[in-house]
Amino acid sequence: MSASSADLQLARYSFKRKLDEIAAARGRATEMVSLYVSPGKQISDVMGYLRNEYAQSSNIKSRTTRKNVMWAIESLMNRVRQYKEPPANGVAFFVGNKAVGADKTDPVTFIVEPPEPLNTYLYRCDSTFFLDPLQSMVHEPEMWGLIVMDRAEVTLGLLRGKRIEPLRNRQSLVPSKHGRGGQSAHRFERMIEHAAHEFFVKCGEMANELFLPKKDLLKGILLGGPGATKEYFYKETYLHYELQQKIVQPLFDVGYTDEYGLRELVERATQTLHGLELTEEKRIIQQLLGEIRKAEAGLAAYGERDVLAALAAGAVDTLLVSEGLRRRHVTIRCPTCGNEFERTAPDDEVDKILAAPCPKCGSNAITLVRSADYVEELFEKATSSSASVRMISSESEEGEMLAKAFGGVAALLRYPWVRPAAAAPRAA
Ligand code: ZN
């Protein structure tokens, strides 16, 4: 897996995580303001709209709610004013006072530039932030190469998310096998085979030209068509070897080799693909378990401490992270004795750590120095040691095992590696 694929996975993870955080912010009343500005919207129009909402909100009966809503809109106007025009994909603002504990609130502001263009302009004031337009973007738009072919025609295209983009279509000059009387049947047969070969070479070249530059982004290539031509094309490796490896098995039987054939191919493949993804996850966790079971020199590490140490040693080949892992890495300082220490903890337990006394002097006044996203840090460490990263869903039993039994983190290693402290003492 390449670095750009790791970047994509990280971007997707960070986006999801941010949405979770925004979704968790709840107001004590209808006072959480969401504003979606689509690309191309005039900022002056948005400001006009906000000024009007501001004026309206002075009629809100509850004094606290009124104060909070007016604060939110004012704060929004300050943010929006800083834009000359919306960013390429538009921008979403979330401003409000989130409830913390019985009667405390904390002002929060989130600004999100979405990974795909927003097609909504929307203002909403509610007790939670409105996230539907962004939630629909959480799923990384996967990209697949598409080829439908027989001896007469080939069509190549891309599947991005749910959108099919036809890229190229070509008819072959291969004569039909039937209805050519007079010529020597043997010679004619050879001529057909030669023409077919030339056509397959051309198909391979077109696929290389269209797909090789995108090879790191392609999850795979779906190959289909009527009859046995697709199997022949696959077996005779007309594609560049890096594309050849990406061809999804099985090949798909479809009736057409034009744009309609591309649609047919995607329909056929959709049921198979989700299954394949899960199978691949199962396979990789099974491989991990196999390594862990080995009595010695297994190529695996699991649990936070060992995985971090293996990453630091550059021993990690593939880092496996549970998709649902939500953890922070915090640095804490005690001003009384100067003690500084680090902890990692689930998001919702960070407050508990801060409420505990200093482990060294017992002072109750410890402070947070730094708080970082644990998974983002893992990705950074993996990328800097050229390890690849795989997010594992918990849809399969194996995925769930990674989340529960291994704390959501494990690694396949490049070479057998043992944490130094646990190494057996050398015989005298
Ligand atoms: Zn202390």
Q: How far is the CA of 419 from the centre of ligand 1 (A)?
A: 30
State whether CATH 3.40.640.10 applies to domain 300-413. Answer: no
Q: What is the mean pLDDT of residues 414-428?
A: 60
* Rounded Cα gap, residues 144 and 220, in angstroms: 5
Q: Where in the chain is the domain with CATH 3.30.960.10?
A: 23-135
pLDDT at 1 over 90: no
Q: How far is the CA of 335 from the centre of ligand 1 (A)?
A: 7
Comparing 155-159, 322-326, 330-334, the range with the smallest average pLDDT is: 322-326
Q: Where in the chain is the domain with CATH 3.30.420.60?
A: 143-174+192-275
- In DSSP terms, 339 is beta-bridged to none
Q: What is the DSSP string of 13-74?
A: HHHHHHHHHHHH-B-SSS-EEEEEE-TT--HHHHHHHHHHHHHHHTT-SSHHHHHHHHHHHH
pLDDT at 56 over 70: yes
Q: How far is the CA of 338 from the centre of ligand 1 (A)?
A: 6
Q: How far is the CA of 371 from the centre of ligand 1 (A)?
A: 19
What percentage of the chain carries pLDDT values higher than 90? Answer: 57
Q: What is the pLDDT of residue 383?
A: 86
Q: How far is the CA of 39 from the centre of ligand 1 (A)?
A: 51
Number of H helices, E strands in the chain: 12, 16
Q: How far is the CA of 365 from the centre of ligand 1 (A)?
A: 8
pLDDT, one tens digit per residue, over 328-368 is 999 999 999 999 999 999 888 988 999 999 999 999 889 99
* pLDDT class of 425 with cuts at 50, 70, 90: very low
Q: How far is the CA of 369 from the centre of ligand 1 (A)?
A: 14
Q: How far is the CA of 373 from the centre of ligand 1 (A)?
A: 25
Q: How far is the CA of 336 from the centre of ligand 1 (A)?
A: 5
For 305, the 3-state DSSP assignment is: helix
Q: How far is the CA of 375 from the centre of ligand 1 (A)?
A: 29
Stronger pLDDT, 273 or 247, i.e. the higher one: 247
> Considering only CA atoms, which of 182, 156, 158 is closest in space to residue 170?
156
Q: What is the pLDDT of residue 10?
A: 79
| Mean pLDDT across the chain | 88
Residue 249 neighbours by CB under 8 Å, 6+ apart: none
* Rounded Cα gap, residues 176 and 184, in angstroms: 15
Q: What is the pLDDT of residue 174?
A: 81
> Considering only CA atoms, which of 73, 90, 89, 86 is closest in space to residue 124?
73
Q: How far is the CA of 356 from the centre of ligand 1 (A)?
A: 11
State whether CATH 3.30.960.10 applies to domain 23-135. Answer: yes
> Considering only CA atoms, which of 43, 40, 35 is closest in space to residue 84?
43
DSSP state of 283: H
Residue 391 neighbours by CB under 8 Å, 6+ apart: 9, 13, 321, 322, 323
Q: How far is the CA of 363 from the centre of ligand 1 (A)?
A: 5
Q: Are 181 and 167 in contact (CB under 8 A)?
A: no
Q: What is the pLDDT of residue 140?
A: 57
Distances (CA, A) of 245 to 157, 248, 341: 18, 8, 47
Q: What is the mean pLDDT of residues 49-56?
A: 95
Q: How far is the CA of 333 from the centre of ligand 1 (A)?
A: 8
Distances (CA, A) of 17 to 208, 241, 266, 352, 388: 36, 37, 30, 21, 21
Q: How far is the CA of 374 from the centre of ligand 1 (A)?
A: 25
Comparing 202-211, 401-410, 416-425, the range with the smallest average pLDDT is: 416-425
pLDDT at 426 over 50: no
Q: Which CATH number fits domain 143-174+192-275: 3.50.30.30, 3.40.50.11540, 3.30.420.60, 3.40.640.10?
A: 3.30.420.60
Burial tier of 122 (Cβ tally within 10 Å: 0-12, 13-18, 19+): middle
Q: Where in the chain is the domain with CATH 3.30.1330.30?
A: 300-413
pLDDT, one tens digit per residue, over 74-95 is 999 999 999 999 999 999 999 9
Element (H, E) at 373: strand 367-373
Burial tier of 410 (Cβ tally within 10 Å: 0-12, 13-18, 19+): buried
Q: How far is the CA of 171 from the centre of ligand 1 (A)?
A: 77
pLDDT, one tens digit per residue, over 363-404 is 988 999 999 999 989 988 998 888 889 888 877 788 888 988
Q: What is the pLDDT of residue 101?
A: 77
Ligand 1 ion: Cβ-proximal residues, 5 Å cutoff: 334, 336-337, 339, 358, 360-361, 363
Q: What is the pLDDT of residue 424?
A: 45
> Considering only CA atoms, which of 143, 165, 153, 149 is closest in space to residue 224?
149
Q: How far is the CA of 345 from the centre of ligand 1 (A)?
A: 20
Q: How far is the CA of 76 from the centre of ligand 1 (A)?
A: 41
Q: What is the pLDDT of residue 43?
A: 95
Q: What is the mean pLDDT of residues 109-123?
A: 89
Q: How far is the CA of 407 from the centre of ligand 1 (A)?
A: 29
Q: What angle do CA 167, 168, 173 make, to 5 degrees?
A: 170
Residue type, 176: S
Stronger pLDDT, 116 or 234, i.e. the higher one: 234
Q: What is the mean pLDDT of residues 251-274?
A: 90
Q: How far is the CA of 331 from the centre of ligand 1 (A)?
A: 14
Max mean pLDDT among 231-245, 285-299, 313-327, 379-393 falls in 231-245
Q: What is the pLDDT of residue 385?
A: 85
User: What does the block give as tokens for 64?
Assistant: 């606290």
Q: What angle do CA 293, 299, 305 make, to 5 degrees?
A: 90
* pLDDT class of 264 with cuts at 50, 70, 90: very high
* Rounded Cα gap, residues 38 and 87, in angstroms: 9
Q: What is the pLDDT of residue 136?
A: 73
